[in-house]
Structure 1
Amino acid sequence: MGKLSNRNRMLIILVIDICIIWVAISISYLFRFNSQIPPFYESQMLVFALTTTVICGSSLAFFRMYKRMWQYASIGEIIELAKAIILGLVLSYATTYILSGERVPLSITSRTLELMLLLMGGSRFLWRLIRVNRTKKKELANHVLVVGAGDCGALIAKEIMTSNSFTGNRIIGFIDDDLHKRNMQVYGLPVLGNRLQIERLVQQYQVHDIIIAMPSAKRANISDIINICKLTGAKVKIIPSINDFIKGRLAVKTLRNVEVEDLLGREPVMTDLEGIANYVSEKVVLVTGAGGSIGSELCRQIATFNPSALLLLGHGENSIYTIEMELRTKFPTLQLETIIADIQDRSRLDEVFRRFKPQVVFHAAAHKHVPLMERNPTEALKNNVFGTKNVADCADKYKVERFVMISSDKAVNPSSIMGATKRIAEMYIQSINTVSETQYVAVRFGNVLGSRGSVIPRFKEQIAAGGPVTVTHPDMVRYFMTIPEAVQLVIQAGSFAKGGEIFVLDMGKPVKILDLAQDLIRLSGYEPYADIDINFSGMREGEKLFEELLTTEEAVSSTQHERIYIGKPSQINRAELELQFKRIEKVISEDQASIKDVIEHLVPFYSHVS
């Protein structure tokens, strides 16, 4: 049977309502007069029925009773229906008195009201019941388990049960750790147990999808539940955020797949907005590497603090164009300047600083891929060392107030060219800070999830291709944080700068790369080694099994932010550093062994195999 159009559905309900009006009035008169209606009251009954049909029908239409989808009806719709019937019947009673000259007996009026409320409300409830039963009788492909039997879980369950878009899904019940909800029901669905029962219930009911509906729960709590769910083989989805729930944007269509970020269990960053605004707002801010993963996120977040101008400097025109278009859409009143330049070009940088006179610089431009830089050490030195020197020197020359460099945990006891060049860059800005009016700082952190060329996008590509997923070593571990989290902390760290510090971000617990690969496979709905294989390719040049955040000579002290620490500044001889830079310039075009020898002399903890 095909679906009824809205117009036909409305006409059917209208005809049913008219029949109910006539039936209700007829029964009321028959009861009043013991089935023997006097001739006068027969004519009155006819007038009362006709006026009630017109007036009550108009009242129902006024209250939009024929514009509602009754399969989704709730208490609110029933209350509106009662208002429409009562108003219509009161007006019909008055009109009948005017037309017939006699009042309709109150016993007839009250019984008519009771019958109309009962029959009209009942007919709509029956309509909803038929639709729900028809849905349940369809072949149900997917069993769904909802984690969280609170307001959010109830909303999600209601939409799945009533929406035509989800007729192939049936909720088998809820999971909730609250003991008071145990064995209770929500919309007729049972609360089946706590999180410890998830695995058993998935097997018992052959659950296909698990929906985590706990918007106010702590991230660590969510992470624990995801870790349980990922072992079941069911697909796991999660509501977007508590903000969507509060603002009423919550719907099944807004559910998203669980990502690796959810497994980290890290709480949102709390930022000192006033402290940040004091050094960014109404300032000319330059971001180098503005088209990259970190640089573009820096631009997004800085834009919210209303700088007087935001300068986007990058070498790749496509990436700069992309972030420019995004920012112009989101911040139409923000003054943006896009600058295509290479930080290795000192004269071009000098021109940029002279023209725009930036007051705050975030230096994110760098070569970061470890194996690539291992094979191209000259380019790593040109960009990461001399490029940083060019930007830092211009910042000093044009009296920039604050210079924040993005560094890496790979700069600590580096085993790679990339890490060594980042360490040299740190050393240079610490040395120039001693002779400059500009406050120079570096912010050091580990891997960010989802950045270009990082392991997560690569794993996702391999899973999408059917595998295998390639892991370098089964024991390799790394620190991870999300891009927005890292950038928030970078900007916050900049507000603490007094000059010369290396800020270290709290990266949480290190993550085993093998576990990360297995989690991604499971979250994609597959089983590691059964559906998607994992191969070990061996460690690449310059890689370490684990990364550190501090050198052995660095101590750490806390800041006013719980996730930001200050590494003790190293004592750097500026004259000696300048001499070593000249040595690097001389050997930069020579063989790799010579370059690595100079780097090893400059960075004591760096070592290489000739």
Structure 2
Amino acid sequence: MSLRTETRPAKRSPLLSFSSRLYHMDAMIWLLSIFLGTAVRYEFQPSQIHLGFCLALALLAILLQLLIGSSLQLYRRGLRSWTGTFEEAFTLGLVVTITGVPLLIFTLIFGTDWGVSRGKILIITPLALILMLVVRYIARTREERALRPRPGSTPVLILGGGYVGSNLIRWMMSDPNSEYRPVGVLDDDPELSKLRVLNVPVLGTMDDIQSAVEATWAKTLILAVNQAQPELLHRIQDQASQLGLSVKVMPDIGEVVNRGLRENDLRDLSIEDLLGRKPVQTNVSEIAEYLAGKRVLVTGAGGSIGAQLCVEINKYEPSELIMLDRDETGLQTALINVAGNGLLDTDAVVLADIRDGVELERIFRRRRPEVVFHAAALKHLPMLQQYPEEAWKTNVIGTHNVLMAAEAADVDTFINISTDKAANPTSALGHSKRLAEKLTAWFGASTGKTYLSVRFGNVIGSRGSMLPTFMRLIEEGRPLTVTHPKVTRYFMTIPEACQLVLQAGGIGGAGEVLILDMGEPVSILGIAERMIELSGKDVEIIYTGLREGEKLHEELVGEGETEDRPYHPKISHTSAEILSPMDLNESEFLDSLVQEPQIESRVTQ
């Protein structure tokens, strides 16, 4: 076994960490400018030029340029520093101007003895700046020509000529290994009409996609628009499909500004983009106030929501993050996400089942969590319709066990993750989660502490959810099954759901149910059709009819519940009914599921 030693370069002083080539060029420009400016001042009469004074002035200018330029980091990137353009030009102008002031003072003091005109500095300094800018412009032009993408690269149209679009073009034009070659820009800004963005022509607005493709033979359209609306994405995708263009998207402007542009930032347009969830603003200070420095426990930490919750909670620096689940593989994944390793030899992960109330209370009394997020649940509606007893054991009794353990450990904040199916429930899943909400409200009332529930709908990309299922079926070329052509559901992303859950814990009151605004319900058939279109495959859609207990359209607010949004525009507050644990009755729960099927449930296509 051999050991490799790594030699680290010695640190260089700021004064020496500069491009000597660029500095030498500027020094020569000062020398040239001083003699040329002097010659201009004296109308090119050699007898009037004082060679000794010019050399002294040049030496002073060269020395000042070195000292001032190095201190302002003008030479940190050499001839390729033109990538900063405006910033570099501003710094250069500042350095030359500051250098010119001592030169003027030197001329005022000593110029009289030499018979030198004091006004010639007003010619020399601007001349030096102009020549330095010209040299840098020539260097930039040569670099651009030398680093153009290879001829075999894919011609692309850039939709958006702003900050993101111009950075994208700059990256493509400066990387010889780029797979893409920008051939045109499309932008709705009338001020960019008929102009060029970094030498790439603006060919019109989005309405001109067809003519732009015909003129450039572009194969790909890259969307460089920050936070594009779903309506715009639908329109772009429809037009691109008709023209045979592939569509790729860029990250938000915040990511580009914070870390720059990366090669793998370009990605295909996804169904999540087309669903169009706007980023929700959360109040970081409210979240940090009840999480920072606290012991936080998450049940169901191995699931999609629980695992992402752990990632988000960890950002607020709790004193301890305890991840509890009965799925050891899920816990390993959660630990990798939070700690960067899956060794499973840490107290941060706890293997336990919420159905085991005795063990759960023992864990809570020993670890003493102060904040609990209860995300453990069974969630597949048709499965629980077949086995409602399992819904009772996990979603009802399991929640009761967690609440009992939380009360025994004197937990301050308890957040129960619920579902939109608890509003006017018609299924085993909905009824069980509704009971969990009522139990949470009872414990909130009895303890006087912040025990509340948070209700939201389908989460995009969660394990076992619709989108991953559709993606797998499409990849395998198998038909997509849709229950009903008119069925709709609410959707939100996993990070968005988790951020709003965390926010809810900071603004919710004891016994409340907080309902997260999911936007407008989305057509499942529309999603299926879009996914098939994005895949480019010919996949059949089969209607199976609504399943038992399933609604045609989900609801977020139940009958008799009122909506009030006193703190956050995306979070409604309502009061939950209270149910004492003494009144829990499994027989009544099972009997509530025996009901006349809904009219929608009998519709089969």
Deviations 1:344-383 (A, max 9, x none): 1121012112222333322110111234434544433322
One-letter code of the match for 1:151? Y
**Within 1, Cα distance between the matches of 2:187 and 2:133?**
34
Deviations 1:493-550 (A, max 9, x none): 3332222x33322111111223223434555xx4353xxx243263585473534235
Q: Which residue of structure 2 aligns with residue 370 of structure 1?
A: 381
Q: Which residue of structure 1 aligns with residue 416 of structure 2?
A: 405
Q: Aligned to 1:556, what secondary structure does the other structure show?
A: coil
Q: Aligned to 1:164, what secondary structure does the other structure show?
A: coil
Q: Which residue of structure 1 aligns with residue 338 of structure 2?
A: 327
Match of 2:496 among 465, 468, 485: 485
Q: Aligned to 1:361, what secondary structure does the other structure show?
A: strand
Structure 1 residue 447: Cα displacement:
0.6
| 2:554 is aligned with 1:569 | no
| 2:397 is aligned with 1:383 | no
One-letter code of the match for 1:602? S
Match of 1:145 among 154, 157, 168: 157
Q: Which residue of structure 2 aligns with residue 301 of structure 1?
A: 312
Match of 2:263 among 247, 253, 260: 253
Q: Aligned to 1:344, what secondary structure does the other structure show?
A: coil
Match of 1:226 among 226, 233, 241: 233
Change (3 A) 1:124 1:408: closer
Structure 1 residue 263: Cα displacement:
3.2
Deviations 1:204-258 (A, max 9, x none): 544333333344xxx4x5333222221214322123343x35x553325363434
Change (3 A) 1:543 1:161: farther
Q: Which residue of structure 2 aligns with residue 558 of structure 1?
A: 564
Structure 1 residue 489: Cα displacement:
2.1
| RMSD across aligned positions (CA) | 5.0
Q: Which residue of structure 1 aligns with residue 482 of structure 2?
A: 472
Q: Superposition pairs for residues 50-69 of structure 1, below 5 Å?
A: 67-69=78-80
- Does the Cα contact within 8 Å between 1:414 and 1:420 map onto a contact in 2? yes
Q: Which residue of structure 2 aligns with residue 586 of structure 1?
A: none
**Within 2, Cα distance between the matches of 1:367 and 1:296?**
16
Structure 1 residue 23: Cα displacement:
10
Deviations 1:15-42 (A, max 9, x none): 999999999999999999999999xx9x
Q: Which moved more, 1:184-193 or 1:385-394?
A: 184-193
Q: Which residue of structure 2 aligns with residue 510 of structure 1?
A: 521
- Does the Cα contact within 8 Å between 1:404 and 1:443 map onto a contact in 2? yes
| 2:432 is aligned with 1:421 | yes
One-letter code of the match for 1:527? G
Deviations 1:476-507 (A, max 9, x none): 321101112212222333332222x3332211
Change (3 A) 1:547 1:432: farther
Structure 1 residue 76: Cα displacement:
5.7
Q: Aligned to 1:228, what secondary structure does the other structure show?
A: helix
Question: Percent same amino acid among aligned pairs?
Answer: 30
Q: Aligned to 1:339, what secondary structure does the other structure show?
A: strand
Deviations 1:585-606 (A, max 9, x none): xxxxxxxxxxxxx644235768
Q: Aligned to 1:68, what secondary structure does the other structure show?
A: helix
| 2:357 is aligned with 1:346 | yes
Q: Aligned to 1:270, what secondary structure does the other structure show?
A: coil
What TM-score comes out, normalization by structure 2 length?
A: 0.73
Q: Superposition pairs for residues 425-504 of structure 1, below 5 Å?
A: 425-431=436-442, 435=446, 437-463=448-474, 465=475, 467-468=477-478, 470-473=480-483, 475=485, 476-494=487-505, 495-499=507-511, 501-504=512-515
Q: Which residue of structure 1 aligns with residue 536 of structure 2?
A: 527
Change (3 A) 1:310 1:53: same
Change (3 A) 1:317 1:398: same
Structure 1 residue 188: Cα displacement:
3.7
- Does the Cα contact within 8 Å between 1:374 and 1:541 map onto a contact in 2? no
- Does the Cα contact within 8 Å between 1:29 and 1:37 map onto a contact in 2? no
Structure 1 residue 60: Cα displacement:
9.0
**Within 1, Cα distance between the matches of 2:124 and 2:61?**
12
- Does the Cα contact within 8 Å between 1:142 and 1:207 map onto a contact in 2? yes
Change (3 A) 1:167 1:483: closer
Structure 1 residue 83: Cα displacement:
9.2
- Does the Cα contact within 8 Å between 2:34 and 2:54 map onto a contact in 1? yes
**Within 2, Cα distance between the matches of 1:29 and 1:241?**
49
- Does the Cα contact within 8 Å between 2:149 and 2:179 map onto a contact in 1? no
One-letter code of the match for 2:324? L
One-letter code of the match for 2:375? A
**Within 2, Cα distance between the matches of 1:272 and 1:114?**
51
Q: Aligned to 1:517, what secondary structure does the other structure show?
A: helix
- Does the Cα contact within 8 Å between 2:322 and 2:348 map onto a contact in 1? yes
Change (3 A) 1:22 1:429: closer
Match of 1:164 among 155, 166, 176: 176
Match of 1:601 among 591, 594, 597: 591
Q: Which residue of structure 2 aligns with residue 546 of structure 1?
A: 552
One-letter code of the match for 1:601? D
Q: Which moved more, 1:356-365 or 1:550-559?
A: 550-559
Match of 2:301 among 290, 293, 300: 290
**Within 1, Cα distance between the matches of 2:354 and 2:40?**
95
- Does the Cα contact within 8 Å between 2:187 and 2:202 map onto a contact in 1? yes
Change (3 A) 1:27 1:356: closer
**Within 2, Cα distance between the matches of 1:492 and 1:379?**
31
Change (3 A) 1:15 1:360: closer
Structure 1 residue 270: Cα displacement:
3.0
- Does the Cα contact within 8 Å between 1:506 and 1:563 map onto a contact in 2? yes
Deviations 1:250-285 (A, max 9, x none): 325363434444334443323344544554445433
Structure 1 residue 292: Cα displacement:
1.5
Match of 2:167 among 155, 160, 171: 155
| 2:247 is aligned with 1:235 | yes
One-letter code of the match for 2:335? E
Structure 1 residue 574: Cα displacement:
6.3
Change (3 A) 1:452 1:116: same
What TM-score comes out, normalization by structure 1 length?
A: 0.72
- Does the Cα contact within 8 Å between 1:477 and 1:545 map onto a contact in 2? no
Change (3 A) 1:457 1:106: same
Change (3 A) 1:454 1:154: same
Structure 1 residue 172: Cα displacement:
0.6
Q: Which runs of 5+ in 2 are unaligned?
A: 1-18, 107-113
- Does the Cα contact within 8 Å between 1:474 and 1:536 map onto a contact in 2? no
Change (3 A) 1:126 1:474: farther
Change (3 A) 1:252 1:160: farther
Change (3 A) 1:165 1:535: same
How many residue pairs match? The answer is 562
- Does the Cα contact within 8 Å between 2:149 and 2:172 map onto a contact in 1? no
Q: Which moved more, 1:287-296 or 1:472-481?
A: 472-481
Change (3 A) 1:322 1:167: closer
One-letter code of the match for 2:469? R
One-letter code of the match for 2:563? S
